[in-house]
């Protein structure tokens, strides 16, 4: 498998737990390269509990590994993190997208990151509305 690719094997099903987090059932194995990232095999189920801690169940349904992370859980980003790329005229309505961001390739001054303040799309570098 390609390095950096999360891979699920023999996943028997999936569902959504009450808090809306993903859950994978009857997952035979999960491997995330490269070395140093977690590898789980023969995992009966995985859920994300209401406080955000991953919960792992073994084949007998026994909970293991609850809250095993010391640091705040975050993405394992092994490459520069990509942005959604668009042009100014195709940016969606910023209303309702507070805190969303994108990369616009044709802003005055050149391509740049922009964020929604729930009213306008503003450039990261100076908060000026992108045009």
Partner 1 sequence: MTGVRPKQLNIDTTFPLKVYTVAELPAAALFSNGAHLFVTDEVGGAIPAFSDGTNWLRVTDRAVVS
Query: Who's near 98: CB < 8 A, 6+ residues apart?
Result: 116, 117, 118
Contacts 24+ apart (CB under 8 A), 102-110: 104/130, 107/131
Q: Is 107 in the site for partner 1 (CB under 8 A)?
A: no
In whole angstroms, give the CA distance from residue 46 to residue 104.
37
Sequence-ordered list of residues with C-beta below 8 angstroms from that of 83, at least 6 positions apart, any chain = 101, 102, 103, 113
Using the minimum distance from each CB to partner 1, give the nearer residue, 10 or 90: 90
Residue 105 in the binding site for partner 1 (CB under 8 A): no
Among 4, 13, 22, 50, binds partner 1 (CB under 8 A): 4
Q: How far is the CB of 13 from partner 1 (least distance, A)?
A: 24
- Minimum CB–partner distance for residue 90 and partner 1 (Å): 11
Neighbouring CB atoms inside 10 A of 120's CB total: 16
Q: Is 7 in the site for partner 1 (CB under 8 A)?
A: no
- Letters for 56-75 (x = contact with partner 1 by CB under 8 A, - = none) are ---------------xx-x-
In the complex, which residues of this chain contact partner 1 (CB under 8 A)? 2, 4-5, 71-72, 74, 79-84, 91-92, 97-102, 113, 115-118, 124-127
């Amino acid at each position: 498998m390609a390095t950096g690719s999360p891979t699920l094997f023999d996943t028997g099903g999936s569902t959504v737990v009450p808090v809306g987090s993903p859950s994978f059932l009857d997952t035979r194995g999960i491997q995330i390269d490269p070395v140093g990232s977690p590898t789980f095999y023969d995992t009966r189920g995985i859920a994300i509990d209401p406080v955000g801690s991953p919960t792992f169940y073994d084949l007998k349904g026994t909970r293991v590994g609850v809250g095993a992370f010391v640091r705040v859980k975050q993405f394992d980003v092994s490459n520069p993190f990509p942005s959604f790329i668009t042009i100014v005229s195709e940016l969606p309505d910023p209303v309702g997208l507070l805190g969303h961001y994108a990369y616009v390739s044709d802003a005055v001054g050149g391509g740049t990151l922009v964020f929604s303040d729930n009213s306008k799309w503003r450039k990261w570098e100076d908060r000026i509305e992108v045009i």
